[in-house]
Amino acid sequence: MTREELRLAVLDILQEIAPDEDLSNLRDDLTFRDQLELDSMDFLDIVMSLRKKYRIQVPEEDYPQLASMQSTLDYLAPKVQAVQKV
């Protein structure tokens, strides 16, 4: 899975969790919370969707690494590739 494919998948998850949000101008370098109206339950829903979709575990101490699109992709890319190799 390419980084762009992974980005689109994360956007799909965000659209499911926050269907009223306009994601067309989402900046990769800003935190999701600075750009979207997400509460802590929304964030947990994002984590659970990532776990379910990619069969990866995201420990609670790694949650800060999912703060922005850029950091999320940096965190997920190697994990998704490792799962796909299995």
For residue 32, give the CATH number of its domain: 1.10.1200.10
Q: Which of 69, 73, 74 is nearest to 6 (CA)?
A: 73
- pLDDT value at residue 86: 63
**Domain tally for the chain?**
1
Residues 1-22, mean pLDDT to the nearest whole number:
93
Query: For residue 12, what pLDDT band results from cuts at 50, 70 and 90?
Result: very high
CA–CA separation, 84 and 24 (whole Å): 29
Tens-digit pLDDT profile for residues 23-81:
999 999 999 989 998 899 999 999 999 889 888 889 999 999 999 999 999 999 999 88
Within 1-86, residue ranges assigned H as helices are 3-17, 32-35, 40-54, 69-85
On whether the CB atoms of residues 77 and 54 are closer than 8 A, the answer is: no
Under DSSP, the state recorded for 30 is S
Residue 25's domain comprises 3-85
Instruction: Name the token pair of 7.
Output: 């980005």
